[in-house]
Amino acid sequence: MYIPGSVVAFGTEARHVTNRLSIVPRLFEHSIASRNTFGLEDKKRMNTYPKDYVQHHIPVMAVVGLKESIPDPDVPKDGTSHSDAAEDRVPNRRRSSSTSNQLRLRATIAHNLRAVLNSKDTTTLWEAARHSQAPAGSHTNGIPNFRVTFVDNDFTLPPKKPTTYQHPSMHPHSALSPLSNQSPLHPDGIMTTQWYEKHLNVYPSVVVGFYDLWDWSMEAGNPQRPKREVGPLAGQALADPVERERDAAMAHGINEKRKYFHERGVKYAAVIILNPRHIDDPAIEDRLGALRKLSGLDSKNSLFVLPVSTQTDANEFINKSLYESAQVYYSNHVKRVRKKLARLPSPSVAIRQVTPQTADGPQPLSVPGWLVRYEYKLGVFQEFRQDIQGSLKSYDAAYNMLLNMLQPSTGDGSLKPKSKRWKEACILADCMNIKICRFFLFQDNAPMALAQLNKHLHAFQLFSNEWHMGERSFEYWSWLSKQYRVFAEQIDIATRHGFKLPVPLPVQTSAGSPPMSSSPFLGSGGYANQAEGGSNPGELLQHAGFYFHLAAMCSAERRRRYMEMEKWKESETKTDDLTYRSAMAALPEEEQVDHSALTIELLTKGYEQFKKHRNTRMTLYLAAEIAGTYYEAGKFEMALKFFERIGKTYRKENWHTVLTSILRWSLRCAKELGMTTSVVGYLVELLCDDLPMSQEKRSELQNDLQSTLTHGPLTDDDNQEPLIVRMDDINSFLSCHVQFEKPSGFVNQPMHFQISLNTNKSSPPQPIAFRSLRINFNNERWNQVYLHDEDDNDDKDYSFYDCTNSEYDSTEKRWSTNAGLQFRHGQNKVFEGTVTLDHSENLKMETVMLELNSSGRQVFLCFDIANRTQDTRSAGRRKWHNTDSPKPTFLKGRGEISATDISQQPSKLTITNKHYAPALVDEHYPFFITLTNEESTPVDAVIRVEIKATETQDLGDKLKLAPTDDDASATSILDIDVGQIEGNGSKEQTLYIIGRTTPLTRLLNISVRYKPSSSNQEPYFEKHETVKIHYNKAFEVKFHSHEQHTEYKDAAVFPPGLEEKERLLVIAAVRCTSPWNLQVVSMEMEQDQQPSHGYIQVQALPKARGEDVKEWKKDQVFNSNHLFELTTRDRTAPKAAADFGALVITWRRVSNVHEEMPLCQTSIPFPPFSFSSTEIRVHRDHPSELYIGEPFVLSYTITNPTSQFAELQAQIEVSDAFVFSGYKQTKFRVLPYSSQTFKYHCHPILAGHVRLPRLKVDISNNGEVPATADAIVYVKPRRQQ
Amino acid sequence: MSIDINCIAVIGKQNNPLYIKNYSSSHPDLKYHYIAHTAIDVIEERVLNNPKLTDAYLGLLYAMEDLAVYGFMTNTRVKIILVIAVTDNVIKDADIKAIFTKVHSAYVSHVCNPFHNLDQDFVASKRFSNAVDHIGQQNSRATIDV
């Protein structure tokens, strides 16, 4: 801990020790303060038992020098203040502001330290155990707990008793001993709380003094201090002489105290608080060393220096070391008391020695009394040193002996019932019982803890009878309640600290519980038969909730006993009953007690415990008990609140017996409070058969209901709204089923529905007549009211009322008729009604209400039909009741139908379509839709047609009504107003579909919306149909292009011209792929307007016009030859392809259906044209007809279309079929863009298919020129002359 | 056997009471209804916390005042609850289990009736109530004899 700021030393020295002779223990201010800040719970416990008797004890530590100072230092301290130390050193007149600042700092330090030491007011056994040595000896971590008292500097112990004596009678007794005259225990008391005061507040086990190391800064007005020399030569001798003087004085003070406390067997330890300046001071080690030496404190264990490092470090440091000393201190006490105990005669001898004395004066404490006193003290001291096992043993011994003393028949009679000593003894026994239970719980010995409680209860139960405060007296129950409550609190604390409650599973291996002590009260121990797999349910330790509940039950019993006594008192019956007399004596005190509040508090505690253990249903039970207690206490409103809250669960889970009880309680509360609306609700529910009750009782309730309705004001708050009892939320004596005959229907058709009302088998006990039956729909216009028909005396088990004749009452705006509405038990009444709607609507039955006969405010039993949830799977089949037989017929479906869908009756209309598939791309495909009206009335219809390709992309398909070339009106969605279709008539509508681009399958969505012509309403009926249309292409075209040889005529010209021309013959093979015959009107070329290439021009050459075939059949092929000339102005430019245009075929389908179908055009683009080659080529030329013996010229032309000079080598290959002349082998050159021709004169000598001589051309060192293919020619035989 | 049966309760899987019978004169029926209802909590908790529990017999559920409550749950989550008076004697698990088994078999033979509808309200047949009452009365009488 680092504490900033300098520290003023005041009050750090206790120079003189005053030995004040004080018998009355001094209460330190601190302990008074802490007592005043007890929590509410502690206060209550203090009302019952002295806190010191029941709390867990931990070693006591006195702290000197940290006492809270008075805020204003200028005000002289009170009379007890000593006139030394700081006061002397810092005279008032010299006190500067800086000093007061330092004082404040010192106060802060003290405050912090106090907070550390005194962090907890009470320490539980478990907390203490966590920080101390476990009984087994294993050391646990953490800081041991101390009970810290802050004392003055001149703190002293009471004077010591003289140690030498000759005779026991001369024993100078302690002030509290029963043997001292001044003692409150004189002459026969066993124990008093003052003894605790002594050991908790007067005698600490260790004393710790806090001191400030003196510093120059503490000297007011002289903050400068002489500079200290630091260096190799600076040594002890250089230490400030003033400091040395101050230190020596302080050491002397410490030493004095140490010696004083040592003499009394108490350890004294000192803590030196350094200020920050000290920490840097090189001489500080020396100063502290000297201090240690002078004070005589063992530096390791008794002198500590702050700041050590951290707050926890220091804390731990101090506590651990001091803790051992504290244990030694209490061990010495144990030894001392043991010695005293050993000197006593054995109790058996002692009892015999007691002679019944008839003297009036009180007898001195008997030997057993002394035994109890010493054993108890032993227990307490062992508890102080956390020896739980030993403490338990001592307490147990003391407790048993005390029980023997209390036993009325066998006891020594020293404790007269109701005497002061007797009361003290009882309290002591109760408190010891608590401690013993707590120790058993701490040792995880649940069975023994419970056994101890039972032993205590059994014992006192027996005694109480003898004391005339047995089970008939409220005192006994008060005491019992207290025992259970305290026990519950112990369990609660234990479980909060990790105590595990045993779970009595059937396959139980019991935690080896020792056999029961041979207590005379419990018979043979219950654990003998453990091995056989059984247990005594009475010996099961349960969670605190159960014990709080027991305590509450006892508290309730106490109240009853008390009431009994009050009655006795009033009746003034004279009796000699001792119990009665004893109770009478205690009555005035008991009258002050608010029993119900006590019971409720205990129940609430139990409630919380059960809630913690997630026993929700148990909490409901406790809530019921709380409510009952509130009722008894006359707090009906609270009671009703509780009853209402818990009733729901019992209702939901069908716990009718419990619910009946709750309802009857609620009814009583509501009556007390005059809440007539609630009363009616409870009474109606109580009429239900499910709630078990005698017939007379129910009859009584019904009468009650009747009279409440007729005589009661029925208004809690001048509310004239009808009172509605929701029957679906409660158990009902009436069940209501509704059924529409059909789930849907049409306008102007009567819709039948039935309301079936069943009474319980035995309820209502007397016939009950309702004023009216109301059926409310979602549209008020159709609400039905069936009024009770007084003349109806139908008393059959089953009756059927036809209410279809209900008439519209325009003033009341409802449909009404009469029916029998008197019900007796076990009756079934069915009411059938109709509604006829004049427009379409979803008609829902919302509620069915029965109006009770009441005066004034209307009372309805309401069945909320609309919000019913039904599981159609588990629901029974739909029933429809008949007029005469109670046996219903079954309708389709399950459950009940409370809503019906009324709609306009749809007219019948059919859609048919006609078309001739497959359709062809680009054509106007006619599609015929026929609408046939199958009704006798005319309808108006609108058709919407939409075309879609099966794939999602938009192909530009269009729909149109007329087969014209005008595409303006064509759209992809077409709305057609068909107009009126006469009854039983039909209308045909034609439309044309133009499918573009690809032969994909198209979908045609046809939707027809129509309505009767008579109706003005908007909602049309709608009908949909989807048609798939397959598409074909009309033509398939293959192009073949052949280049025509061109001669370089100007080859000799130099430089050669850049213009080049090439002719292409393009053959378009057009195949008709349509399954239909097509009439082709024309097939024309269409040239693109824009040339696609800058350099290349394409020109179509006029072609010989062939005869056009008019009608094409499937798979017929028509060739169309076209000659093109490609011209480029710059042959050196990169060669590219050029588009020309398309072949446009104008055609129509040959159809019988529609002659005037418009012509359609299919355009097939030509492939792009390009110059054939850019490489050296060899062309061959010869006449087309060859005859044997007729010579001809075979010419090979080598063309160089490149811009490079070509050096070539040619070699002719020999052929057997020809004799020829010309170069056999030659080398030659061809200039760029020019050609050279070799001519061979050939003479055929063989007929038939023969090979021409081939010219092989090689580019020098660059391989062969790809020659024209091997030319096979047919040589004809010699020509006939 | 010194088991003083005060009450036998059969509770459905929806935690609705099927059959509750009081065989004692010490407490009103209502008390046993409350006890049977609260026992459901303990049964649920015990089944939840001991997933390894294979036996239908759940042992002692809790003791309240002078009554000890034992539980048993069938595979179909039908719960049987036995309330006995606490004496100072050891109650053998085997004895309790035997009683539960008897009640359970009475229940089983009741629901085996082909006309019994599990979805509808439980209507105790004469045979079932006789069988259960026999178990309850026999044991309570046995104590009286002792």
Nearest to A561 by CA among A472, A640, A469: A472
**Which residues in chain A are contacts of B119 at CB distance < 8 A?**
874
Q: Exposed/middle/buried for A856, CB within 10 Å: 0-12, 13-18, 19+? A: middle
Question: Which of B11, B37, B55, B72 to mutate to probe the A interface, most A CBs <10 Å?
Answer: B37
pLDDT at A976 over 60: yes
Does A504 contact B59 at a Cβ distance shorter than 8 Å?
A: yes
Q: Which residue has the higher pLDDT, A83 or A186?
A: A186
Model confidence at A88, in pLDDT bands (50, 70, 90)? very low
What pLDDT is recorded for position A411?
54
Question: Which of B6, B18, B33, B121 to mutate to probe the A interface, most A CBs <10 Å?
Answer: B33
Number of H helices, E strands in chain A: 25, 50
Share the mean pLDDT of chain A: 74
Q: Report DSSP letters for A831-852, one per residue.
A: EEEEEE-SS-EEEEEEEEEEEE
Q: Are B25 and A646 in contact (CB under 8 A)?
A: no
What pLDDT is recorded for position B45?
84
Dihedral, CA of residue A333, residue A339, residue A344 and residue A347, to nearest 10: 70
Q: Are A899 and A843 in contact (CB under 8 A)?
A: yes
Does A655 contact B38 at a Cβ distance shorter than 8 Å?
A: no
pLDDT at B146 over 60: no
ipTM of the complex: 0.88
Beta-carbon count within 10 A of A1051 CB: 18
Which residues is A371 bridged to in the sheet?
A: none
Does A532 contact B37 at a Cβ distance shorter than 8 Å?
A: no
Alpha-carbon distance A1213 to A1198, whole Å? 16
Q: Exposed/middle/buried for A184, CB within 10 Å: 0-12, 13-18, 19+? A: middle
Q: Which residue has the higher pLDDT, A752 or A84?
A: A752
Please give the structure tokens belonging to residue B77: 């989550």
What pLDDT is recorded for position A260?
83
Minimum-distance CB partner of A550 among B65, B68, B84: B65
What pLDDT is recorded for position A965?
67
Does A538 contact B86 at a Cβ distance shorter than 8 Å?
A: yes
Nearest Cα of chain B lies from the Cα of A824 at a distance, in angstroms, of: 23
Q: Which residue has the higher pLDDT, A1245 or A283?
A: A1245
Query: Would an 8 Å CB–CB cutoff place B29 in contact with chain A?
Result: yes
Does A537 contact B88 at a Cβ distance shorter than 8 Å?
A: no
Question: What are the pLDDT digits (tens) for A1154-1199?
Answer: 556 777 888 888 887 777 666 777 888 888 888 888 889 988 888 8
Does A536 contact B42 at a Cβ distance shorter than 8 Å?
A: no
Does B30 contact A522 at a Cβ distance shorter than 8 Å?
A: no
**Which residues in chain B are contacts of A532 at CB distance < 8 A?**
90, 92, 94
Model confidence at B81, in pLDDT bands (50, 70, 90)? very high
- Which letter does DSSP use for residue A1135 in this model? P
Q: Are A843 and A837 in contact (CB under 8 A)?
A: yes
Residue type at A295 in one-letter notation: S
- Which letter does DSSP use for residue A154 in this model? T
Nearest Cα of chain B lies from the Cα of A650 at a distance, in angstroms, of: 9
**Which residues in chain A are contacts of B64 at CB distance < 8 A?**
546, 549
**Which residues in chain A are contacts of B93 at CB distance < 8 A?**
506, 508, 533-535
**Which residues in chain A are contacts of B46 at CB distance < 8 A?**
503, 505
Yes or no: is domain B5-145 CATH 3.30.1330.10?
no
Alpha-carbon distance A489 to A1104, whole Å? 123
Average pLDDT of the residues in A1041-1058: 60
Nearest Cα of chain A lies from the Cα of B67 at a distance, in angstroms, of: 8
| CA A1014-A1015-A1020 angle, 5° bins | 125
Alpha-carbon distance A925 to A457, whole Å? 107
Nearest Cα of chain A lies from the Cα of B32 at a distance, in angstroms, of: 9
Q: Report DSSP letters for A608-652, one per residue.
A: HHHHHTT-HHHHHHHHHHHHHHHHHTT-HHHHHHHHHHHHHHHHH
Query: Reduced to 3 states, what is the DSSP secondary structure of residue A47?
Result: helix
Question: Which of A491, A519, A522, A536 to mutate to probe the B interface, most B CBs <10 Å?
Answer: A536
pLDDT at A637 over 70: yes
Distance in angstroms between the alpha carbons of the first and the last residue of chain B: 9
**Which residues in chain B are contacts of A549 at CB distance < 8 A?**
64
- Looking at chain A, which residue has its C-alpha nearest residue B95? A534
| CA B43-B48-B52 angle, 5° bins | 105
Query: Residue A768 to residues A686, A759, A795, A826, A1040: CA-CA distances in angstroms?
Result: 15, 10, 12, 12, 105
Query: Would an 8 Å CB–CB cutoff place B41 in contact with chain A?
Result: yes
What pLDDT is recorded for position A918?
82
Most distant pair of Cα atoms in chain B: their distance: 45
What pLDDT is recorded for position A62?
82
Average pLDDT of the residues in A1236-1253: 88
CA A707 to centroid of chain Cα atoms: 51
CA A575 to centroid of chain Cα atoms: 66
Model confidence at A519, in pLDDT bands (50, 70, 90)? very low
Give Cβ neighbours of residue A545 (< 8 Å, ≥ 6 apart): A488, A606, A607, A608, A609, A610, A612, A613, A615, A618, A622
Share the mean pLDDT of chain B: 82
Query: Which CATH number applies to A722-903: 3.40.50.740, 3.30.565.10, 3.40.50.2020, 2.60.40.10?
Result: 2.60.40.10
Average pLDDT of the residues in A226-230: 50
pLDDT at A932 over 60: yes
Does A529 contact B92 at a Cβ distance shorter than 8 Å?
A: yes
Does A536 contact B91 at a Cβ distance shorter than 8 Å?
A: yes
Nearest Cα of chain A lies from the Cα of B134 at a distance, in angstroms, of: 23
Alpha-carbon distance B51 to A1028, whole Å? 63
Question: What are the pLDDT digits (tens) for A151-201?
Answer: 777 777 777 655 444 444 444 566 667 666 666 666 667 777 777 777 777
What pLDDT is recorded for position B80?
92
Model confidence at A573, in pLDDT bands (50, 70, 90)? low
Q: For A56, phi and psi rounded to 5 degrees? A: -85, 135
Q: Do domains A722-903 and A1177-1276 have the same CATH topology?
A: yes
Query: Would an 8 Å CB–CB cutoff place B145 in contact with chain A?
Result: no
Minimum-distance CB partner of B16 among A503, A624, A654: A654
Minimum-distance CB partner of A505 among B20, B59, B62: B59
- What does pTM read for this prediction? 0.63
Does A505 contact B20 at a Cβ distance shorter than 8 Å?
A: no
Question: What are the pLDDT digits (tens) for A1212-1242?
Answer: 888 888 888 888 888 888 887 778 888 899 9
Minimum-distance CB partner of B33 among A523, A657, A874: A657
- Which letter does DSSP use for residue A71 in this model? S
Range with the poorest average pLDDT among A8-22, A606-620, A623-637: A8-22
Model confidence at A991, in pLDDT bands (50, 70, 90)? confident
The half-sphere exposure of A300 on its side-chain side, counting CA atoms within 13 A, is 0
Give Cβ neighbours of residue A1274 (< 8 Å, ≥ 6 apart): A1186, A1248, A1249, A1250
Nearest Cα of chain B lies from the Cα of A613 at a distance, in angstroms, of: 9
Alpha-carbon distance A1254 to A1271, whole Å? 8
Please give the structure tokens belonging to residue A382: 């062992």
pLDDT at A757 over 80: yes
Does A506 contact B57 at a Cβ distance shorter than 8 Å?
A: yes
Minimum-distance CB partner of A537 among B14, B15, B86: B86
Query: Would an 8 Å CB–CB cutoff place B123 in contact with chain A?
Result: no
* CB contacts < 8 A (A, B): 115
Minimum-distance CB partner of B42 among A534, A537, A615: A615
Q: Supply the CATH classification number for the domain A909-1026.
A: 2.60.40.10
Give Cβ neighbours of residue B37 (< 8 Å, ≥ 6 apart): A617, A620, A621, A650, A653, A655, A658, B15, B17
- Looking at chain A, which residue has its C-alpha nearest residue B29? A657
What pLDDT is recorded for position A311?
57
Torsion sign over Cα A272, A276, A277, A282: positive
Residue type at A1049 in one-letter notation: K
Range with the poorest average pLDDT among A613-622, A868-877, B89-98: A868-877
Nearest Cα of chain A lies from the Cα of B57 at a distance, in angstroms, of: 7
Alpha-carbon distance A1079 to A1147, whole Å? 5
What pLDDT is recorded for position A179?
67
Does A657 contact B87 at a Cβ distance shorter than 8 Å?
A: no
Does B37 contact A523 at a Cβ distance shorter than 8 Å?
A: no
Residues 63-92 of B with CB under 8 A from A: 63-65, 68, 84, 86-92
Question: Which of A455, A501, A503 to mutate to probe the B interface, most B CBs <10 Å?
Answer: A503
Does A653 contact B45 at a Cβ distance shorter than 8 Å?
A: no
**Which residues in chain A are contacts of B33 at CB distance < 8 A?**
655, 657-658
Average pLDDT of the residues in A762-783: 87
Domain ranges within chain A, ordered by starting residue: 1-14+60-157+203-224+238-343, 647-721, 722-903, 909-1026, 1035-1165, 1177-1276
What pLDDT is recorded for position A192?
74
What pLDDT is recorded for position A15?
32
Minimum-distance CB partner of B34 among A536, A616, A658: A658
Average pLDDT of the residues in B62-89: 86
What pLDDT is recorded for position A1230?
84
Question: What are the pLDDT digits (tens) for A452-483?
Answer: 888 888 888 878 777 777 777 788 888 888 88
Helix axes A578-591, A544-571, angle to 10 degrees: 110
Give Cβ neighbours of residue A947 (< 8 Å, ≥ 6 apart): A957, A958, A959, A972, A993, A1002, A1003, A1004, A1005
What pLDDT is recorded for position B85?
85
Does B65 contact A542 at a Cβ distance shorter than 8 Å?
A: no
Average pLDDT of the residues in A904-920: 80
Model confidence at A883, in pLDDT bands (50, 70, 90)? confident
pLDDT at A750 over 80: yes
Domain ranges within chain B, ordered by starting residue: 5-145
Yes or no: is domain A1177-1276 CATH 2.60.40.10?
yes
Minimum-distance CB partner of B16 among A528, A614, A653: A653
Nearest to A248 by CA among A299, A281, A214, A216: A214
What pLDDT is recorded for position A875?
75
